[in-house]
Structure 1
Amino acid sequence: MKDLIPIKVENDQQLLSARDLHKGLGLKRQFTDWVKQNFKDFEENTDFVFTPQSVNMPNGGTKQIKDYFLTIDMAKQLCLMSRTEKGKQYRKYLIEVERKWNDPQEVVKRGYAILQNENTQLKLENKNLTVQLEESNKKASYLDVILGTPDALAITQIAADYGYGAVNFNKLLKQVGIQHKVNGQWILYKVYMGKGYVVSQAFTFKDHYGKDRSKTTTYWTQKGRKLIYDVLKDNDILPLIERDDIA
């Protein structure tokens, strides 16, 4: 049977335009008057949905006009109410459309399509959740490293986590306001002093004369490494394992 009127499917329901039906039935009454007279016995958002449409104007612009999407049942009743030959023709057509829609094979096909779509959506959601979880784990991983390494570390080791050498990393910590140099030695700014961020450890070595010498070196505690991480992160500087541009 030739298609008499466009049918759209939305939320597994067949719908058609009230304006298309009004035009197809060849009714003389104005569309708005027809709607006012015939829609009062139907329930909005159940039998029909208000759906304004944009139409092109001769001057090149567009205009919004009123339209409604009707269920097949409502459309069939409107055809009967028209009491015209066109109404009988359209009603017969809509009955056939409905019959095909309710054919068991078509129902199974639609159900399978819905399941496939839901499965695809579920896979996408699972993929998104996996990515979010990976990102969450990735962001937490450096903190895990810190928490899993209770021993104090030299600045050289921490600098390597960020892809820096010790010299440049010390300068970076100065730029972000953690430390400054006093008499050739890196010292924490006052706000960070005495809070357990660093410890001093002495080590002995032989000078070029073969004499034993002793020197004090600063090591960063777990708490201090966390401070470095937080301050650098606030300045958009991340360790290598948390950077998206590092594979």
Structure 2
Amino acid sequence: MNQLIATQNNEQGEIIVSGRELHEFLEVAERFSKWWERMTGYGFENGLDYTPYQMVHPQNKQELIDYSMKLDMAKELAMIQRTDKGKEARQYFLQVEKAWNSPEMIIKRAMQIQDKKILELENKIQEDKRYTDFGKVVEMSEAAVNIGAFVKIIYDKHGINIGRNKMFDWLRDKGYLIKSGREKNNPKQQFIEQGLFELRPTIISRSEGDVQSHTTLITGKGQVKLTEILLSEFGSRSDLSG
């Protein structure tokens, strides 16, 4: 079937037609905006029968308003014209509709829907890869580990050999930990609030009296995020200890 007027499919799988293309095919002398206003006066509803959108004219590059209308509306507009071109357009749209509802096209659309679902599933698998690599349980867990334990985890699971001191350097360079002063190696408040770190107080007994110190812990959520960054930056099986 020759394509007299271009048709497309919207996200709902419905056939749609450009208002400007139909106007041009019908050879209407009236300016498009006036014609469209008059046509929509027959009871068609914005958002139900048609949808406005911005387009760029292919020749003068001017931005224009066009309307994507459903096939039923396009058939009615063609019939309203009471011209040979209107009759031709309506017959063409009936052929398009017949072809669209043929068993072959129904099967084709079903296969396209299935392919789309498979693609969405594959994308979700990739999106969730950080969980399958490191474990959803880790992020959901309330358990937090110190830097030394985290270094051992990423070495055992991903072969990233960074070492405890290098890990502290990396966290300071990335801005997660305070670089100097009395609070050196403590996590910054913003990352504690994000749930990536905890700061656990510890008491150190000394001859001159007990002293309170703090231990930086990485939460389950923080372990997942930092592992993801380390893998993207260095890859697995990396030796960064030297």
Asked if 2 retains the 8 angstrom alpha-carbon contact of 1:142 and 1:241, the reply is: no
Partner of 1:121: 120
Letter in 1 for 2:119: T
Asked whether 1:227 is paired with 2:204, we answer no
The 1:131/1:199 distance shift into structure 2, 3 A limit, reads farther
Gapped regions of structure 1 (runs ≥ 5): 148-160, 181-193, 201-222
1:45 equivalent in alignment to 2:47 = yes
Provide structure 2 residue ranges, at least 5 long, that are not aligned to the other structure: 151-160, 173-178, 185-200, 238-242
- CA separation of 1:69/1:143 partners in 2, compared to 1, >3 Å: closer, same or farther? same
- Seen in structure 2, the aligned counterparts of structure 1 residues 242 and 2 have a Cα distance that, compared at 3 Å, is closer
Question: Conserved in 2, the CA contact under 8 Å of 1:9 and 1:15?
Answer: yes
Q: How does 1:1-247 map to 2 (within 5 A)?
A: 1-11=1-11, 12-40=13-41, 41-55=43-57, 58=60, 62-132=61-131, 134=133, 143=145, 146=149, 163=163, 176-177=180-181, 195-196=202-203, 227-229=215-217, 243-244=230-231, 245=234, 246-247=236-237
TM-score normalized by the length of structure 2: 0.61
Q: Given the superposition, is the C-alpha separation of residues 241 and 30 from structure 1 closer, same or farther in structure 2, using an over 3 Å criterion?
A: closer
Which is higher, the Rg of structure 1 or of structure 2?
A: 1
CA contact (8 A) 2:202 2:215 kept: no
The percentage of aligned residue pairs carrying the same residue is 22
* Residues matched between the structures, number: 186
Moved over 4 A (4+): 135-142, 144-147, 175-180, 197-200
RMSD after superposition: 4.2
CA distance in 1, matches of 2:9, 2:202: 67
Give the direction of change, closer, same or farther, for the CA distance of 1:199–1:123 in structure 2 (3 Å limit): farther
Q: CA deviation at 1:124?
A: 1.3
- Please give the TM-score of this superposition, normalised by the length of structure 1: 0.60
Q: Deviations over 1:162-186 (max 9, x none)?
A: 5267xx99xx9xx645699xxxxxx
